[in-house]
Amino acid sequence: MLQEAITSPYVDYKYYSETYGGNKKPKDKIEGWAKQDSFDACEKRAEAVLHRISFDRVKRLPEIPDMVKDAICAMAEIDYQEEKKTPGVKSENSDGYAVTYADSGNTTGASGRVALMYQEASIYLGNTGLLYKGVSKKYDCEQ
């Protein structure tokens, strides 16, 4: 069996804010993390989802490439946005305070959050083979 090479966390707040450019995102995309603690929690969940959707291939990389770090940052932003949402609410407007409620079968739960995070990860990792659902000679077989 292949050995784990890198320990987590793969991304720190400094990478998120300076290299990925997390603080430069438009306000409607993400209002920014005021505290590093909330970033760390979202990064940890994003990393867990990444291991799940990549079948733990990232754990076996000799080093973590920037595209993986960027995917984790993007996934952490999705996690943060979903965490802020009120359950059952489809949209909110604070101008005149309007709330639209989702249908009971149309709420974003844990599986919906993972699907959104997968979509975001596939932007960065779609052509790498890390998300391939079969056995990858590049990542799954010992060399």
Report DSSP letters for 47-67, one per residue: HHHHHHHTTTTGGG-SS--HH
Q: How many residues does the chain have?
A: 143
* DSSP secondary structure string for all residues of 102-138: PPGGG---HHHHHHHHHHHHHHHHTTTSTT-SS--HH
* pLDDT tens track for 11-20: 998 898 889 9
pTM: 0.76
| Contact predicate 106/72, CB 8 Å | no
d(CA 60, CA 139) in angstroms, rounded, equals: 8
* pLDDT tens track for 94-133: 666 776 666 554 455 678 889 999 999 999 999 999 999 9
